[in-house]
Amino acid sequence: MTEYLALDLGAESGRAIVATLEGDHLTLKEVHRFGNGPVRLPDGIHWDVLRLWGEIKAGIAAAIKSGANPLGMAIDTWGVDFALLDENGSMLGNPFHYRDNRTDGIVEQAFQIVPKAEIFAQTGIQFMQLNTLFQLFSMASGKSAQFKIAHSFVNTPDLFNYWLSGKITNEFTIATTTQCYNPLTRDWAMGMLDTLRIPSRLFGPVTPPGTVIGLLLPEVAEETGSGEISVVLVASHDTGSAVVAVPAHNQDFAWISSGTWSIMGAEVFEPALGEKALAYNFTNEGGVFGTWRLSKNIMGLWLVQECRRFWRLHGEDLGYDEITRLASEAQPFLAVVDPDADLFFHPGDMPEKIRKFCSATGQAVPQTKGEIVRVALESLALKYRHTLERLEELSGKHLNPIHIIGGGTRNQLLNQLAADCTGRTVVTGPVEATATGNVLMQAIALGQISSLAEARAVVRNSFDVESYLPGSNSGWDEAYAKLINLA
């Protein structure tokens, strides 16, 4: 019996989870949970990384207090956001949130210096204004003073790993999310960075997942009441860890990491860098054991989360179960929205944004809470179908089933809508896929598990999954035609 500690930070919440691996069976126990979200300052929207660092240490302390004696610990987070460190390792400024408006219009400016096709050929990453590349380019365009004194670039999990271990690293899977990494040369795209006036000297060696980088710093161990714990680099991009935990028997499956974002993809062994991948705006992010995640980011449950937040701010604190019940009782196929429309990217009055989109496109306008959420969920399922068709074309595979993992698996209505819309079996679980994948990669790094196939067998032995079979296709083809006209 071996124990591990997974620190899993998402865009909405974070958690510390103690995992016990006994033979081929894994059990998880959440010992600490905390909220996460943007903080608005006069200069823009930031992450409160110092508070998050305090919560990480509280999570370690809670694990020890629960009686755990973890052999290893590892952190995973959302992608693209970053910090800069000076030559003494001090953080320069508070990291920006990827939804900050400093990147509005910046993508087109970058294309004037390096053409879109060339950026894709060198990075293979889906174009979104939130990408690290465009955040850095916005700093270069604004002549940020930080570049003059910065010594090291670190993504968010790399920052916390540095504070945990004292070692500055750039983990592979998170590095590939930045649109600054070249999957052909297996190194940073130095020439492109310099052309965009982003100092390439900031980018250090890339370290593969499954690497033990050291022990927990003595001062952190003392503060949290822990002993010597190995700090492990796992797939520190949360989606990378989640895909490790897909309970698949073979590789001809599609996966959706469902949460604030729905990231839909397939597991491949070579990145897709051709004209169609560029035209379809797909992304190639690094996985484990030589795999790549050919995938596409979809706005996901962000629309529903923002609706709930808006209603709560105005005195109606509805839980997700109640919101989903209202949606299940609402009229189907009232209207279709494109979840990835620019209108929905920034925080705000999401119910009104959805109504505004429907009105502007000449559709019926949802009025009730159930109708608004139903439109959002059906539109998300339609986006899954649209993405699946292109994913199969690029991968050359017929992908079945669709594995949905992560917190979004709790939305049973969306799971069934996805099965009905795509005509594929949907298999959901595990819910805590990211933490599970985090732990399994620790076990591989520390010699307890030998391979990805063995890790996925542990997932199948340890967690229940639920299957959703396709039902009636009535109405979906007409709705899909509407989405095609909108997208």
239 in a structural domain? no
Bridging pattern class, strands 25-35 and 211-215: unpaired
Q: Among all chains, which residue has been given the structure tokens 């990291």? A: 95
Cα–Cα distance measured from residue 470 to residue 453, given in angstroms and rounded to the nearest whole number: 28
Bridging pattern class, strands 211-215 and 206-207: unpaired
| Full residue range of the structural domain in which residue 105 is found | 2-233
Q: In the beta sheet, which residues pair with residue 432?
A: none
317 carries an active-site annotation: no
Domain co-membership, 102 together with 206: yes
Domain co-membership, 56 together with 203: yes
Are the CB atoms for 238 and 8 separated by under 8 Å?
A: yes
Domain co-membership, 85 together with 142: yes
Structurally, how many domains does the chain consist of?
Answer: 2
SS3 call for 381: helix
Spell out the per-residue pLDDT of the chain, length 487, in tens: 999 999 999 988 999 999 999 999 999 999 999 999 999 999 999 999 999 999 999 999 999 999 999 999 999 999 999 999 999 999 999 999 999 999 999 999 999 999 999 999 999 999 999 999 999 999 999 999 999 999 999 999 999 999 999 999 999 999 999 999 999 999 999 999 999 999 999 999 999 999 999 999 999 999 999 999 999 999 999 999 999 999 998 889 999 999 888 999 999 999 999 999 999 999 999 999 999 999 999 999 999 999 999 999 999 999 999 999 999 999 999 999 999 999 999 999 999 999 999 999 999 999 999 999 999 999 999 999 999 999 999 999 999 999 999 889 999 999 999 999 999 999 999 989 999 999 999 999 999 999 999 999 999 999 999 999 999 889 999 999 999 998 7
Residue after which a domain boundary falls, among 175, 202, 233: 233
Domain co-membership, 229 together with 296: no
Catalytic residue among 238, 338, 340, 420: 238
241 in a structural domain? no
Cα–Cα distance measured from residue 379 to residue 386, given in angstroms and rounded to the nearest whole number: 10
Domain co-membership, 194 together with 334: no
Cα–chain center distance at 382 = 20
Domain co-membership, 374 together with 345: yes
436 in a structural domain? no
439 in a structural domain? no
Residue after which a domain boundary falls, among 205, 233, 261: 233
- Kindly tell me the burial class for residue 276, based on how many C-beta atoms sit within 10 Å of its own C-beta (0-12, 13-18, 19 or more): exposed
State the number of CA atoms in the 13 A half-sphere of 420 facing the CB. Answer: 21
* H or E element in which residue 327 lies: helix 320-329
CATH number of domain containing 36 = 3.30.420.40
Cα–Cα distance measured from residue 305 to residue 311, given in angstroms and rounded to the nearest whole number: 10
Domain co-membership, 417 together with 327: yes
Domain co-membership, 367 together with 484: yes
445 in a structural domain? no
Residue after which a domain boundary falls, among 233, 255, 276: 233
Bridging pattern class, strands 402-405 and 292-298: unpaired
